[in-house]
Chains A and B, each alone.
Chain A
Amino acid sequence: MITLTVNGHQHAIDAEPDTPLLYVLRDELGLNGAKFGCGLGQCGACTVIVDGSAVFSCLTPIALLPGRPVTTIEGLGTAAAPGPVQRAFITEQAAQCGYCIAGMVMRAQALLARSPTPTEQEIRDGMNPNLCRCGTHMRILAAVRRAAGMAPVQKADAR
């Protein structure tokens, strides 16, 4: 048994110690936000926050995690009461298929916690580990800017 602290709650986990956190979150704890994308740390779909830093949960064995708090997107808010970064993504309608988006939100959350007023280049570099294939990049960037309290870039006016 390994004890993990996820979104403020302690869980006794019955899984092999080499099990990546991703599978424990999804299959043992029923938390769907983190997704399997590559298992290689190349795409960021599995991104969660451990000890305040964004990590690839697909590459993080649970043996490394006792005593280190884990936050997933479920810990940021709910559909009825979304957290600030989630709210910014909803306002910008920053998703298409949405498979990558929980990872994007967690990457942005960690970035903004570290650097509350990032420059455009810092945002782009900070989001670099995460891939989106639908081409929602511009809206994701706008959402991160919005979450940082920066002025949203001008949007097209033809409503």
Chain B
Amino acid sequence: MTARVSRRALLAAGGGLLVSVSLPRAEARADDAPLPGSLKDTPFLDAWIRIETDSTITAFTGKAELGQGLKTALVQIVAEQLQVVPARVHLVTADTARTPNEGVTAGSHSMQDSGTALLNASAQARLLLLNAAAADMNVGVETLSVIDGVIQGPGGASRDYGELAAKLSMHVRAQPGGGLIDPAGYRVMGVALPRLDIPAKLTGGAPYVQDMRPEGMLHARVVRQPSAGAELLSVDVDAVSRMPGVVTVVRDGNFLAVVADKEWRAIKAMRALEASAQWNETATLPVQAEAPALIQSLPSRDIPVLTWTGEAMPTIRRISAKYTRPYQMHGSIGPSCALAVYGDDGVTVWTHTQGVYPLRASLAQLLRLPPEKVRCVHVEGSGCYGHNGADDVAADAALIAVVVPGKPIRVQWMREQEHTNEPYGPAMVAEVSGAIDAEGKIVDWTYDVWSNTHNRRPNAGGLLLANAALPDPLPVPPPAPIPMPEGGGDRNSNPIYALPNAKVVSHFVPDMPVRVSAMRSLGAYLNIFAIESFMDELAEAAGADPVSFRLRHLTDERARAVVQLAADRFGWVAKAPRSSGVGRGFAFARYKNLGAYCAVALNVTVEHETGQIRIGRVVAAVDSGQPINPDGIRNQIEGAMVQSASWTLYEEVNFDRRHITSTDWSGYPIMRFPAAPASVEVHIVPRPGQPFLGTGEAGQGPMAAAIANALRDAAGVRVRDLPLSAGRVKAAIGV
């Protein structure tokens, strides 16, 4: 049964809060009810919250700050539920020696998993403290209030959290619920608290793993295999060993690295080593232009996503279309970096991985050490947007550290190493067919999507890049699909629209011609691009306004509210005046159909002669459930849309049969300031008390489709292959 706490709670009284609770009964057992968020896996309160006798509050999360504002949001949750000012909360993030195992920080899950766990753990910790205070003061708990961590009782009596915590064990199992502050009384959650990490980042603080400089640190650089499977024939180790500052050269099979006292000397030695290395290479890559067709033709495992069978309706028109995306890269501005030190206790690795625990398991296998001899500590890096080189460089650092025991080894990849070795977002193909009836409603829908896996994150040593270079490589686990409802290649392939007849099939392609893994929003980027482009194509076939056409097929009230808000704030009217070269586009999706809702309306101008698309005003509406930090939500959605605009307008990894040729920013251009939108507005639909909905990836898909739809409106062309590059648009226009 559920331990209950009365909801009626909060009467703001002179800055304090009067909290009335009824206590969990002694016999209350919660073992059979599911615990919220990550409390499911880590149920003891003291794994999440600790309060020292000096009233210091430490909160623990297994998730990592990736630049998404996670630390600030989690501190807000803890401060709210413990009724303290945010500055009192010290947050410890992902560390295999200290924090809960919350897997990877990915999939817009952090607030749902860790935020929900900390919300409940903090609330229940506050209840324990209130109960202890009531017993100590011999008063009813309903007479107590909390002001910044000091419990106020009748007649001026007070107890601070620290003195109560000293007499109290927090090593108790969490309850399924109880003690939560009424959202109507929130003072910290739902507020645009400035990000706690920004001042240091703007003043040369040392928040990044790249900035760590422990005593005795040495700099290492790796010479990577120039192509997959390349064999090292010869290399002049002796000459490089004699270069200034070089401590050692590491050669183990095809794994090649150099260690030096200073970073620039390590780089020069690495360049010399690289120049002297002779490799035997084979052509392993496909023909770039044929990549989508290849993905569609390789053997696949066909996974039914959904079949809706209703009444067969008379149709007046059926249309079909095919959409593709190329390989695209995460493109972190800072190449991946890690530090590792090896000693009697094993190896400690400081890393910007998204998953310290899975990385620990992988490194333990790679180093042939027991997992307890490997500690992974998350330290921020450059934004990653998915599985980039973070784990692989951690493996490099660990392998080198074992060769130079006792010395912290810092490895940072060079730009071309990040560009050519990170696992890319997979190339994909989607085919869709739809039929409409005489009333302009969709009566039939079929959708097929072809994709590789979107998850090659290391949970085994065989998945780390360096493994393939070693003389005794570990076996490489086969790729696996991520099951729906979250999905991988099929993420968001299930339409959110109410359709009487629909069939969706995901064709999972195990063979990976190019190294791929998770990139922000996974398959949702292409699936939403395809579905939302196709919704406009169907609306056009039905002679309907795109916004009304969507609303006609949406029954979820929250979805409708978001669509309506974006349209209203944009000033969308059904019959807008048209002018050549100027167009507007709309798109909407609910991320994974279970996360945040996001609608985008925007306008573009298209330069007829060049095919160049310029993005004008962008208006988005988003529903993330209970907002923790509205400005954090806006920052994430703005960033997602601008990043997606870059993917959508410019980005495609180039390669020949042997090498990735997008080796730097000239070979893989991304959006620069002159091409950024004229303006971006994000409007939030607040949903007080509703569950947190993952937001970080919700903007990627809708932005892509909104641009394609605006291109159609502006220039009369429908481009279905990403990116919507100037060359491709120009060819479609036919000038």
Which residues does A use to contact B, with CB under 8 Å? 15-16, 19-20, 23, 26-27, 30-33, 35-40, 42-43, 45, 72-74, 76-79, 82, 86, 89-90, 93, 95-102, 105, 121, 123-125, 127-128, 130-141, 153-159
- Across-interface contacts of B331 in A (CB, < 8 A): 133
Q: Is B308 an interface residue (CB 8 A)?
A: no
Using A37-B333, A138-B680 as known contacts, say yes or no to A133 and B643 having CB atoms under 8 A apart. yes
Task: Please list 23 pairs of residues, one from A and one from B, whose beta carbons are closer than 8 Å in the complex, sorted by A's number.
Answer: A32-B208, A35-B333, A36-B210, A36-B334, A37-B333, A38-B664, A42-B665, A73-B202, A96-B69, A96-B635, A97-B67, A99-B208, A99-B381, A121-B674, A128-B672, A128-B674, A131-B670, A134-B67, A135-B639, A135-B643, A138-B679, A156-B634, A157-B683
Using A79-B203, A137-B671 as known contacts, say yes or no to A36 and B683 having CB atoms under 8 A apart. no
Q: Is the CB of B676 within 8 A of A124?
A: yes
- Across-interface contacts of A95 in B (CB, < 8 A): 67, 195, 198, 201-202
Chain B nearest Cβ from A108, distance in angstroms: 11
Q: Is B214 an interface residue (CB 8 A)?
A: no
- Across-interface contacts of A16 in B (CB, < 8 A): 244, 264-265
Q: Is the CB of A96 within 8 A of B674?
A: no
Q: Is B430 an interface residue (CB 8 A)?
A: no
The answer for the CA separation of A90 and B69 in the assembled complex, in Å, is 14
Q: Which of B68, B208, B412, B666 contacts A96 (CB 8 A)?
A: B68
Q: Is B716 an interface residue (CB 8 A)?
A: no
The answer for the CA separation of A138 and B672 in the assembled complex, in Å, is 11
Q: Is the CB of A138 within 8 A of B642?
A: yes
B residues contacting the other copy or chain, number (CB 8 A) = 74
Task: List 11 extra interface pairs beyond A99-B332, A133-B670, A154-B681, CB under 8 A.
Answer: A31-B204, A39-B414, A42-B665, A42-B666, A79-B205, A105-B202, A124-B673, A133-B382, A135-B671, A156-B683, A158-B686
Q: Which of A19, A23, A37, A139 contacts B635 (CB 8 A)?
A: A139
Q: Is the CB of B641 within 8 A of A27?
A: no
Residue from B263, B265, B636, B683 whose CB has the most chain A CB atoms within 10 Å: B263
The answer for the CA separation of A73 and B201 in the assembled complex, in Å, is 10
The answer for the CA separation of A136 and B202 in the assembled complex, in Å, is 14
Q: Is B199 an interface residue (CB 8 A)?
A: yes
Which residues does B use to contact A, with CB under 8 Å? 66-69, 192, 194-195, 197-208, 210-211, 213, 244, 262-265, 267, 330-335, 380-383, 385, 412, 414-415, 630-631, 634-636, 638-646, 664-666, 670-674, 676-677, 679-686
The answer for the CA separation of A124 and B677 in the assembled complex, in Å, is 11
Chain B nearest Cβ from A110, distance in angstroms: 15
Q: Which of B333, B673, B674 contacts A133 (CB 8 A)?
A: B333
Q: Is the CB of B333 within 8 A of A137?
A: no
- Across-interface contacts of B666 in A (CB, < 8 A): 42
Residue from B202, B380, B640 whose CB has the most chain A CB atoms within 10 Å: B202
- Across-interface contacts of A156 in B (CB, < 8 A): 634, 681-684
- Across-interface contacts of B681 in A (CB, < 8 A): 154-156
Q: Is the CB of A137 within 8 A of B642?
A: yes
Chain B nearest Cβ from A49, distance in angstroms: 14
Q: Is the CB of B263 within 8 A of A23?
A: yes
- Across-interface contacts of B670 in A (CB, < 8 A): 131, 133
Q: Is the CB of B673 within 8 A of A137?
A: yes
- Across-interface contacts of B202 in A (CB, < 8 A): 73, 79, 82, 86, 89-90, 95, 98, 101-102, 105
